Structures are given as C-alpha cells and as structure tokens.
Amino acid sequence: MNSFGILKDKFGNIMRQMVKYGLVGVINTIITMIVLFVLQNAFGVSYKLANGAGYVCGFINSFILNKFWTFKGNQKSTLSQFIRFSLVFAVCYAMQLGFVVLLVEKMHIEKNISQLIGMVFYTLISFLLNKVFTFKN
C-alpha cells in the first residue's frame, strides 16, 4: 500500500473513532443530565453534588464504551487504561466544575444552562486527552 493509502486508512480510522466517541458522549451526556437534573431539581441536592454524581455515572459508562467499542483495536491493559482514563477524567472534571461554578456564581448564568455549557467544554477536552493519552496506540 502506498503512502496515500496508509494515510487514507489512518484518517478513516480516526474519523470512525471520533464518530463513536461522539455517540458515547451523547449517551454519557444523557446519563449525566438525567442524574444531575433529577438530583438537583427533584431532590433539592446542591448543584455541585448533583454535578459530581452525574459525572461519576457518565464516567463509568464512558470508560466501558470507549474501551470496548470506540478504541477496541487497542489491547493495552484495562487497569493501565482505567488509571489513565481516571486521570483525564479528574483533570477535565475539575476544569469543567470550575467553569460551571464561574458561570453560576460569578456570571449569574442559570444553573441548568451552565451545566450544559460545562458539558460541551468537558467533552472537547476529554476527547483530545483520551485520544492522545489514554487510548493511544
């Protein structure tokens, strides 16, 4: 196979992974939103605690689907990937929560809208870090 063919195959694989990651992200977002909105709005749990609970549920789902579906070609140790995935999650979550707190407490943006904005921010950063760090070949 020539260089162009190899590049085309690699690009196609990355695009498939991006689409799969996006679908996993949609599923995670739905899970996260359901958990945090129910806790926040139906049970009166603080938005910070509800945010944490929602992201933990999304985190568990995300690791499983990304490990075994999105990046299934990568056969590295599950434990090693889980540790890396956890580090990426912790960094992205801390950044996202700080951003949401800024939006709610300093910019006075409604808490549900702030949560949605924070999810977009989180998803973009986590894809990049998981692609190059957690599930790299």
What pLDDT, on the 0 to 100 scale, is given for residue 112? 92
Domain boundaries, the chain: 3-134
What pLDDT, on the 0 to 100 scale, is given for residue 78? 86
d(CA 55, CA 93): 8
What pLDDT, on the 0 to 100 scale, is given for residue 100? 95
What pLDDT, on the 0 to 100 scale, is given for residue 102? 97
Residues in the chain where the model's pLDDT stays below 50: none
- CB burial readout 1-23, b (16+ within 10 A) else e: eeeeeeeeeeeeeeeebeebbee
Rg, the chain, Cα only: 17
What pLDDT, on the 0 to 100 scale, is given for residue 30? 94
pTM over 0.75: no
